[in-house]
């Protein structure tokens, strides 16, 4: 990856020790203007060298204790590379342990918001007041700093909250600078990147657009074709637009309607593709085939597997009719790879993602993933530059398996109808209230459970619909959104009055973690 002047772009590597906020560290670096990637905790010095212009290493948090048998530890030689290191939480304790300090189970755990007192001078805190709020999440503590380190911050419980060895350019903080609950955390991170690592802050997502187009044009020979599956979401549509800009009418787009789309989505996707002036559109209505395959299936992961398998089969049949295809383009983005366990040795599988399945191998095609290192908001920035319609760019994220993962238990025609109609009401009312752009996602979920109601003075037993609305920056963590009472009342009354078979509307108020955004 190069800059406009042809030099290797500076980057920060975040070593993943299994912390729930690892991805947020990467996001904060990128927001500051420094490209970052998440890498396995056991990366070797030689592998670090192959990344090119690495300006800093950041050790993430993690759930283990550094003194436990089998706890993840970095290669000790990384500390001898003369590359600045910042340890965060578990990373703070790792630096202490690796450099000869003492880490113990704390006499008092620190969780949540706390006050930190800054002591002495530090490049990390040079622009900050002497007392700051910080977010803690640890049971262990650094009891004694290593030789050559000085303590630069202590918590209100008088525990070491930050330490550093400026000569070796090793810095660490016990609290989480990456979360919004540490109000000055971004400034601390920026101070590290600027004052310690000497970063130029030259990362801009838009700068990569020309590079992505060039890479595709140089990869695909003049006589070769590329197929791209689109769902209507911003990721796949942006991918298609990039490929088209690179190779023109040698792009063939496949759009499969599996019958699990949102209400009116088929029409929106086809119109958006036409507006992008994509000539070769292969539309397949496979809704009956998918619903038949899902009959009687209740397990959520099994539903995902069936949808993924059948999608591949339908895609394979459609692609077989297109001659000269050598490449498959997918709209895989960075969180897809993180949640699928494709980055980081400790990243566990959260959900199966259809975008990282075995489609290329089945088709014998080479894979093109121009967006694989970008987050959702970065993709949207690229999409605007490509001229995609706002109806695509600003639409809430939608899961690849569609409404199947918003329906508890078996996907029946009745529950699918309820989910589509209820979801349309939720989105319509959020738009009418001017709040659609204020949330990451807002949608309806249909439960298998029933509730007794009264309609027209008669007893009525119907489904329960759960409304889910969250705020997020990249979908990796999310907070539940406090829907105004009047808006919630309108949504509830409309769903129970207009959607046949529903007698109860509830609201989900659990954040991610511990819950995921999509229920199933």
Question: Distances in Å between the alpha carbon of 74 and those of 12, 131, 177, 243?
Answer: 16, 32, 21, 39
Q: At what angle do helices 207-219 and 376-386 cross, to 10 degrees?
A: 80
Strand partners of residue 155:
116
Residue 178 known to be catalytic = yes
Q: Which of 422, 403, 428, 441 is nearest to 504 (CA)?
A: 422
N-term to C-term CA, the chain: 37
Are 471 and 509 contacting, i.e. CB atoms less than 8 angstroms apart?
A: no
Catalytic residue among 89, 99, 199, 228: 89
Q: At 129, is the secondary structure helix, strand, or coil? A: coil
Report the distance separating Cα 209 and Cα 206, nearest Å: 5
Pairing of strands 458-471, 441-455: antiparallel
Are 57 and 87 contacting, i.e. CB atoms less than 8 angstroms apart?
A: no
Catalytic residue among 176, 258, 354, 463: 176
What's the distance, CA 142 to chain centroid? 32
Question: Distances in Å between the alpha carbon of 290 and those of 140, 230, 303, 354, 360?
Answer: 50, 17, 10, 15, 21
Q: Which of 3, 360, 446, 504 is nearest to 207 (CA)?
A: 3
Q: Which of 340, 432, 331 is nearest to 372 (CA)?
A: 331
Exposed / middle / buried, residue 149 (Cβ in 10 Å: 0-12, 13-18, 19+): buried
In 3-state terms the chain splits into helix, strand, coil percentages (rounded to 5) of 35, 25, 40
Q: What is the DSSP string of 485-518?
A: HHHHHHHHHHHHHHSTTEEEEEE----BTTS-SS
Phi-psi region of 248 (alpha: psi -120 to 50; beta: other; left: phi over 0): left
Are 64 and 71 contacting, i.e. CB atoms less than 8 angstroms apart?
A: yes
Q: At 344, is the secondary structure helix, strand, or coil? A: coil
Q: At 57, is the secondary structure helix, strand, or coil? A: strand
Residue 92 known to be catalytic = no
Report the distance separating Cα 278 and Cα 352, nearest Å: 30
Give the tokens for residue 267.
Answer: 């029409």
Catalytic residue among 178, 187, 339, 427: 178
Report the distance separating Cα 402 and Cα 222, nearest Å: 36
Residue 176 known to be catalytic = yes
Q: Where are the beta strands (DSSP E) in 29-76?
A: 35-40, 54-59
Catalytic residues: 89, 176, 178
């Amino acid at each position: 990856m190069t800059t406009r002047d042809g030099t290797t772009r500076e980057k920060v590597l975040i070593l993943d020790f299994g912390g729930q906020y690892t991805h947020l560290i990467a996001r904060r670096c990128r927001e500051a203007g420094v490209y970052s990637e998440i890498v396995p905790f056991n990366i070797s010095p030689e592998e670090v060298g192959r990344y090119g212009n690495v300006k800093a290493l950041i050790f993430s948090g993690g759930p283990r204790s550094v003194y436990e048998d089998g706890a993840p530890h970095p290669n000790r030689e990384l500390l001898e590379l003369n590359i600045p290191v910042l340890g965060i939480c578990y990373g703070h304790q790792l630096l202490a342990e690796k450099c000869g300090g003492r880490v113990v189970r704390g006499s008092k755990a620190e969780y949540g918001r706390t006050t930190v007192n800054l002591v002495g001078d530090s490049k990390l805190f040079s622009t900050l007041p002497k007392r700051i709020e910080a977010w803690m999440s640890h049971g262990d503590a650094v009891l004694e700093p290593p030789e050559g380190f000085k303590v630069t911050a202590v918590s209100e419980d008088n525990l070491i909250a930050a330490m550093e060895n400026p000569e070796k350019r090793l810095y660490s903080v016990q609290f989480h600078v990456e979360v919004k609950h540490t109000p000055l955390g971004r400034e601390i991170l920026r101070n590290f990147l600027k004052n310690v690592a000497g970063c130029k802050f030259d990362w801009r997502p838009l700068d990569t657009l020309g590079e992505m187009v060039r890479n595709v044009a140089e990869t695909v020979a003049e006589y070769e074709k590329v197929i791209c599956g689109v769902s209507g979401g911003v990721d796949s549509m942006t991918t298609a637009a990039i490929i088209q800009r690179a190779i023109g009418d040698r792009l063939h787009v496949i759009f499969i309607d599996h019958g699990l789309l949102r209400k009116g989505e088929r029409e929106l996707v086809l119109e958006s593709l036409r507006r992008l002036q994509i000539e070769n559109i292969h539309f397949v209505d496979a809704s009956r085939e998918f619903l038949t395959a899902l009959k009687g299936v209740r397990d959520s992961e099994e539903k995902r597997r069936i949808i993924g398998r059948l999608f591949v089969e339908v895609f394979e049949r459609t692609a077989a009719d297109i001659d000269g295809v050598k490449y498959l383009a997918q709209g895989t983005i960075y969180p897809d790879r993180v949640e699928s366990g494709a980055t980081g040795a400790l990243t566990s599988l959260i959900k199966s993602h259809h975008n990282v399945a075995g489609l290329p191998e089945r088709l014998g095609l080479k894979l093109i993933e121009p967006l694989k290192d970008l987050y959702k908001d970065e993709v949207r920035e690229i999409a605007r530059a490509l001229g995609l319609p706002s109806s695509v760019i600003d639409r809430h994220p939608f899961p690849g398996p569609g409404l199947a993962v918003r329906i508890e238990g078996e996907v029946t025609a009745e529950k699918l109808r309820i989910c589509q109609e209820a979801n349309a009401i939720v989105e319509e009312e959020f738009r009418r209230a001017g709040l659609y752009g204020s949330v990451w996602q807002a949608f309806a979920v249909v439960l298998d459970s029933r509730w007794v109601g009264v309609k027209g003075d008669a007893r009525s037993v119907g489904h329960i619909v759960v409304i889910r609305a969250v705020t997020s920056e990249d979908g990796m963590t999310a907070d539940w959104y406090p829907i105004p009472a009047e808006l919630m009342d309108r949504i509830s009354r409309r769903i129970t009055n207009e959607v046949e078979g529903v007698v109860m509307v509830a609201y989900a108020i659990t954040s991610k973690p511990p819950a995921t955004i999509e229920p199933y």
